[in-house]
Amino acid sequence: MSRLVSVLTDVHFWVPVAVLAAGLLLLSLMR
Partner 1 sequence: MASSAQPLTSSATQSAVRAKKLQLLGILSGFTAGAWLGAAEAPTKLVSMGISPIAISLIMVIGVFLARWSLPALILGTSSVRADVRRAPHLIIWAVLAGCLWAVANTLTIFAIRDIGLSMAFPLWNSNSLLGIFWGFLFFNELRQAGWRRWTGVLGGALVMCLGATLLAIASSAQGPAGHSLRGVWAALGAGLLWGTMYIPYRKAYLTGMNPLSFVTFFTFGEVGMMSTLAIGYTGLAPLWQELLSARGVIFWLMLGGFIWVIGDLFQQYAAKYVGISRGIPLSNSNQLWGLLWGIFVFGELHGRSSSTYLQVVGGSLLMMLGVGAVAFSSAPGEEQTRWKEAAQRESERYGVAADYVEARLDGRQAADEAAHARRIWDWLLVAGASAIFVVFAAMARVPQMSLHWCPAALLTGALLLLLFLCTLALWRTTRFN
User: Rule CB under 8 A: which of 3-22 touch partner 1?
Assistant: 3-4, 6-7, 10, 12-13, 15-17, 19-20, 22
Counting contacts by CB under 8 A, is residue 30 touching partner 1?
A: yes
How many residues of this chain interact with partner 1, rule: CB under 8 A?
A: 21
In angstroms, rounded to a whole number, what is the distance separating the alpha carbons of residues 3 and 9?
Answer: 10
Region label for 23, one of left (φ > 0), alpha (ψ between -120 and 50) or beta (otherwise): alpha
> Binding to partner 1 by residue 1, rule CB under 8 A?
no
CB of residue 6 to partner 1, shortest distance in Å = 6
- Measured in degrees and rounded to the nearest 5, phi and psi for residue 30 equal -70, -25
